[in-house]
Amino acid sequence: MKRRDNLDVAQSLLHRACEDEQTIALIANANGPWSVGCFHCQQAAEKRLKALLAIREGHFPRTHDIGQLIELAEPGMFTLREKPRPYLQVGGNETVGMGWCKVTMVAGERT
């Protein structure tokens, strides 16, 4: 892909990730359904990682494997648990997580 195309792809992915995050906030405010909220957490994380890869590498794999995307985006930066431990946390509207993946969203900050 050309650099401009990469930026367009990344922008589209980030826009769709924001839509997933808005959906997460609505679900958290409505006190569920949590399985749908967890799905959108995974989707938002996947889209943000793919946007990063589109900009840095010019491409990304067709996968839903968050661990693979994290490793491609930032090799060695994260350590994932070998065995998933199921959990769901909602603190205000800031933290939603499922299994080994915990996503924290704070407006305007990267955490």
Condensed to tens digits (0 to 9), the pLDDT of residues 54-80 reads 988 888 999 998 888 888 887 765 555
The answer to whether 45 touches 74, Cβ cutoff 8 Å, is no
Residue 18 has pLDDT above 50, yes or no: yes
Confidence (pLDDT) at 1: 54
**Nearest alpha-carbon partner for 37 in 54, 16, 20:** 20
Mean pLDDT (the chain) is: 75
Q: Is 87 inside any structural domain?
A: no
Q: Is 37 inside any structural domain?
A: yes
Confidence (pLDDT) at 88: 45
Q: Is 41 inside any structural domain?
A: yes
Residue 44: is it exposed, middle or buried by C-beta count within 10 angstroms (0-12/13-18/19+)? Answer: buried
Q: Is 16 inside any structural domain?
A: yes
Q: Is 102 inside any structural domain?
A: no
Residue 103 has pLDDT above 70, yes or no: no
Q: Is 68 inside any structural domain?
A: yes
Q: Is 110 inside any structural domain?
A: no
Residue 7 has pLDDT above 50, yes or no: yes
pTM for this predicted structure: 0.67
Condensed to tens digits (0 to 9), the pLDDT of residues 29-60 reads 898 898 899 999 999 999 999 998 998 888 89
Percent of the chain with pLDDT over 70: 66
Residue 100 has pLDDT above 90, yes or no: no
Q: Is 106 inside any structural domain?
A: no
Q: How many domains does the chain have?
A: 1
The residue segments making up the domain with residue 44 are: 3-81
